[in-house]
Amino acid sequence: MPSIAIITGSASGIGLAIARRLARDGATVALLDLNTEALQPIAAELGGHAYSVDLTDYQAVEVVIARVVAQFGRVDVLVNSAGITGLTQTPTHLMPLDNVRQVFEINFWGALHTTRAVLPTMLQQNYGRILHIASIAGKEGNPGMLGYSASKAAVIGMAKAQGKEYANTGITVNALAPAVIMTPLVEALPEAQVTYMTDRIPMHRCGTLDEVANTVAFIVSPENSFTTGFCYDLSGGRATY
């Protein structure tokens, strides 16, 4: 029986790469994003289903998750990939507080909203795989990126707490902390800036979208049944703890 997988932020970047990989593995993918226009052709390509939702609105998230459950009868996988960077190159004393709040609303609260909404279904079926996409910034902190670093640290802490909370239920909850991944956004950066970032990575290169998707495919698979509350490394050796 194919799994039912919800992927947030699936209109582009890492979320899209994950959706494509899980669909290729036979999953029925429910694609959640605010960008409805971009979602429709992706849903058609993957034979999936598109749902437009503001992840910061818990009631709206509950409605969408209920629609997915009503349509498919269950949810096996949730990947929380939606996120924003917020302001960069801005020290704390100059960082607008509203910007930090906005980053937390999407990166942390958005992931909490979808997780909270999907857990009753997973508990009823005694099975589930939840993965929060965090960041190396959540482990090490990136200067000038207070909101992003702190929100991703919160996401890692959430995975650790939830992993323990549901350890005896058949549900695993983990996080994944990528370093810089080669996306169109990174490809557009000046070569010197990319070199600065990759010089901190022992492999001296960016990760690829395929490498992210391949790792995610294992983490959310039935075979990965004895790891929960863990933050997986995807940093080319930069932060292996």
Contacts of 215 (CB under 8 A, 6+ apart): 176, 232, 234
Q: Is residue 141 part of a domain?
A: yes
Place of tokens 């349509």: 71
The domain that holds 221 is classified in CATH as 3.40.50.720
Amino acid 187: pLDDT: 81
Q: Measuring CA to CA, which residue among 84, 78, 101 is closest to residue 32? A: 78
Q: Is residue 240 part of a domain?
A: no
Q: Is residue 189 part of a domain?
A: yes
pLDDT band at 241 (very low <50, low <70, confident <90, very high): confident
Q: Is residue 171 part of a domain?
A: yes
Q: Is residue 9 part of a domain?
A: yes
Say how many domains are in the chain: 1
CA–CA distance, 42 with 17 (Å, rounded to integer): 11
Amino acid 191: pLDDT: 81
Backbone angles phi, psi at 231, to 5 degrees: -105, 110
The catalytic position among 148, 166, 196, 241 is 148
| Whether the predicted model's global pTM rises above the 0.85 cut | yes
Annotated active-site residue 51? The verdict is no
Identify the domain containing residue 25 by its residue range.
4-234
Amino acid at 64: V
Q: Is residue 230 part of a domain?
A: yes
Q: Is residue 173 part of a domain?
A: yes
CA–CA distance, 142 with 148 (Å, rounded to integer): 8
**CB neighbourhood size of 61 (10 A):** 25
Q: Is residue 239 part of a domain?
A: no
Please state which of the ranges 20-34, 64-78, 88-102, 179-193 shows the lowest mean pLDDT. Answer: 179-193
